[in-house]
Amino acid sequence: MQIGKELYTGKAKSVFATDDPERYVMRYRDDTSAFDGGKKASLARKGAVNNKFNAFIMGKLAEAGILSHFERLLSDTESLVKRLDMIPVECVVRNIAAGSLCRRLGVTEGTELNPPTFEFFLKNDALHDPMINDSHILAFNWASAAEIARMRELTFAVNTVLKKLFLDAGILLVDYKLEFGRYHGEVLLGDEFSPDGCRLWDAKTGEKLDKDRFRQDLGNVIEAYEEVARRLGVDLS
Ligand code: UDP
């Protein structure tokens, strides 16, 4: 696989062309950011941990019939993925109240949400990823009604699989963000699933094991990601 030019540089990953127009290489960097890029740092090993963590999760989702752009690991920090036409919205499911939900609605962190909530956000750092709904997505042509329905269905399907996977490892899946893209007329899961884009609490102690450790200056950020990986059985070697 020939790696070509860098096409896109995100806050934590870079995307490269390959000799196959249908495939990209995604490189996970050690860079991390929060608050729409307002807080930045470099955390040793993060790129490799998230790359391998994501490969593990995408494999579990594929086993459950949920398809993503992920094809295979290429190196410690690189994965081969399908080229998707990304839909510019973020899909968030919450099982327990935390983060922006608490700020927006004044609910207490830790409140159980039954049924879980579903939210769309526009992917736009300059606008601070505002919350949007189906009608905005249709009015601005970001996705079709069928694609909206599919994103919602897949995001909840992911919840069923991953809530159990994490709980079996003694971890609560509090919330998570997914992004989707189009591939030959189908909606596939894109981007990544790692502790950078979800909240994970130790089921016994409530200890935060995700990016909130960085957001809230709790320390041992990557050590927590590695602990989650270890409990799940992710091969980090
Ligand atoms: N999230 C993300 N990227 C974003 C916004 C949110 O990965 O740009 C994730 C975040 O890590 C959390 C979930 O989506 O797991 C819900 O985030 P929330 O709306 O509570 O926003 P936050 O408190 O992170 O600003």
End-to-end CA distance of the chain: 22
State the helix-helix crossing angle for 221-232 and 46-63, rounded to 10 degrees. 30
**Which structural domain range is residue 165 located in?**
85-220
Q: 94 and 157 share a domain?
A: yes
Is 0.95 topped by the overall pTM? yes
Q: Domain for residue 169, yes or no?
A: yes
Ligand 1 within 6 A of 176 CB? Answer: yes
Hey, what are 224's tokens?
């927590």
State which of 33, 53, 82 marks the end of a domain: 82
In a domain, 226, yes or no: no
Under 8 Å CB-to-CB from 101, ≥6 apart: which residues?
94, 107, 117, 175
100 and 74 share one domain:
no
Contact criterion met (CB below 8 Å) for 33 and 40: yes
**Do 113 and 50 sit in the same domain of this protein?**
no
Residue nearest to atom 5 of ligand 1 (CA): 177
Residue-wise pLDDT tens digits, 163-212: 999 999 999 999 999 999 999 999 999 999 999 999 999 999 999 999 99
Q: pLDDT at residue 1 above 90?
A: no
Judge if 129 and 150 occupy the same domain. yes
The set of residues, in sequence order, having a beta carbon less than 8 Å from that of 229 and lying 6+ positions away, is 49, 52, 53, 56, 236
CATH number for the domain harbouring residue 136: 3.30.470.20
Percent of the chain with pLDDT over 70: 100
Domain stops at, among 34, 62, 82: 82
Task: Answer for the pair 95, 116: CB distance below 8 angstroms, yes or no.
Answer: yes
Summarize pLDDT for 94-122 with one digit per residue, the tens: 999 999 999 999 999 999 999 999 999 99
- The CATH number of the domain holding residue 49 is 3.30.200.20
Main-chain dihedrals φ then ψ at residue 52, nearest 5 degrees: -75, -35
- pLDDT over threshold 90, residue 4: yes
Ligand 1 center from residue 164 Cα (angstroms): 21
Q: How far is CA 26 from CA 20, 53, 75, 98, 136, in A?
A: 14, 14, 10, 29, 30
Instruction: Note the pLDDT of residue 237.
Output: 93
Among residues 82, 112, 143, the one where a domain terminates is: 82
Is any ligand 1 atom within 6 A of the Cβ of residue 100? yes
Say what the pLDDT of residue 140 is.
Answer: 98
Ligand 1 within 6 A of CB of 177: yes
How far is the centre of ligand 1, averaged over its atoms, from the C-alpha of 234 (Å)?
Answer: 23
Ligand 1: centre distance to CA 170 (Å): 22
